[in-house]
Amino acid sequence: MGSRLDLRRVQTSSEPSVTKSRALTCLGMSITTDAITADYTAITEGCGLLDRSERGKLALSGSGGPEFLQGQVTNDVEGLEPGAGCYAAFLTPKGKMLGDLRILNTGDELLLDTERVALQELFNMIRRSRVGYDVELHKRTVERGLLSLIGPHALSLAGGIELPGEEHAHRATELAGASVRVIRTDVGVDLLIEDAGATETVAAALREAGAVPVSEVAAECLRVERGRPRYGIDLDETVIPQEAGLNARAVSFTKGCYVGQETVARLHYRGKPNRTLRGLALSSPASPGDALTFGERSVGRLGSVAVSPRFGPIALALVRREAENGAVVSVGEEGLGATVVELPFS
């Protein structure tokens, strides 16, 4: 067990004043613009708290775990030291994404978490392919809690545990009497709680220490701004990692063979994708799935959408390459205007 966390209260910025409140609907949630702005301030200037326990969670134990997973996912699992992790995709034999996942090496086992929509495919892949390896598969979705601390004060609010700067670095510790694994993310830290029953106790301690509960809408807004696609919204079984700009984060080109490698490598070394993940600066809020047209040609559909307190209405989309950065496209049946921009938004 790592060091014991000593929670101390962190002061965050006060909520900004908003002169007019307007209701928006995003991800099936109705939330006012003043609430979004307050939550956005927390996650960009202080520390926001979001429960993400619904994510799918599995674990692999046994000496053959790293070797087995090395042949199934796009990133280098065997190269992970205890306390390190990586982001990866698992693919069809033709290189299309069945899902993405985070992989953490604890030294005793490999911890995996993925979008809930991809959990069954990940479970099936492991169960189907592990024959011949010393690997045991454990279900952890219900047994483990997961809280996200988002913002510049996230690590210090989590007790200031020493954690390497690399994304996915992790350490075991104790918080509010619960065993917790602190995991570095691109926007703060995640807390993987060994006993899901202790999740609310940990969350209460974090709120007392200064964490501000925030909506998923606000967290999604920050994700869209940063240009990070989400499986089930921006990514599906039609997407090759390079199209979504995932090669740098999710793909190793020096490891051995894995399912779907031939297509991924061929596109990387010899080809150019017909579409790539882009940002859209929208003239008005739009909806996921709205069609994009450039001239008379269909060039894609909107994925994630958000109304950013900083950038206004924005979206992510896989856009055909003829609509280059700076191009103005039409969105949906109403023909709203949108400008194609480089990611992340800036």
Instruction: Quick: pLDDT tens for 148-157.
Output: 999 999 999 9
pLDDT tier at 43, thresholds 50, 70, 90: very high
Average pLDDT over residues 106-129: 97
Please tell me the predicted confidence (pLDDT) of residue 193. 98
pLDDT: which is higher, 124 or 14: 124
Average pLDDT over residues 188-213: 98
pLDDT at residue 8 greater than cutoff 80:
no
Please tell me the predicted confidence (pLDDT) of residue 36. 87
The class that CATH gives domain 274-346 is mainly beta
Mean pLDDT (the chain) is 91
Write down the domain spans for the chain: 23-53+144-225, 274-346
Residues 245-288 have pLDDT tens digits of 999 999 999 999 999 999 999 999 998 999 999 999 999 999 99
23-53+144-225 belongs to which homologous superfamily? Probable tRNA modification gtpase trme; domain 1 (3.30.1360.120)
Please tell me the predicted confidence (pLDDT) of residue 67. 97
Q: Distance (Å, rounded) from C-alpha 159 to C-alpha 81? A: 24
Crossing angle for the helix pair 216-225 and 33-45, to the nearest 10 degrees = 60
Q: Which residues contact 189 (CB under 8 A, 6 or more apart)?
A: 148, 149, 154, 155, 158, 163, 182, 183
pLDDT at residue 23 greater than cutoff 60:
no
Q: Where are the beta strands (DSSP E) in the chain?
A: 23-26, 29-32, 48-51, 56-61, 85-91, 97-105, 109-114, 136-139, 145-150, 170-175, 178-184, 188-193, 212-213, 275-282, 291-294, 297-308, 312-320, 328-331, 336-341
Please tell me the predicted confidence (pLDDT) of residue 27. 47
Please tell me the predicted confidence (pLDDT) of residue 224. 98
Please tell me the predicted confidence (pLDDT) of residue 47. 98
CA-based nearest residue to 317, from 325, 309, 22, 124: 325
Please tell me the predicted confidence (pLDDT) of residue 14. 32
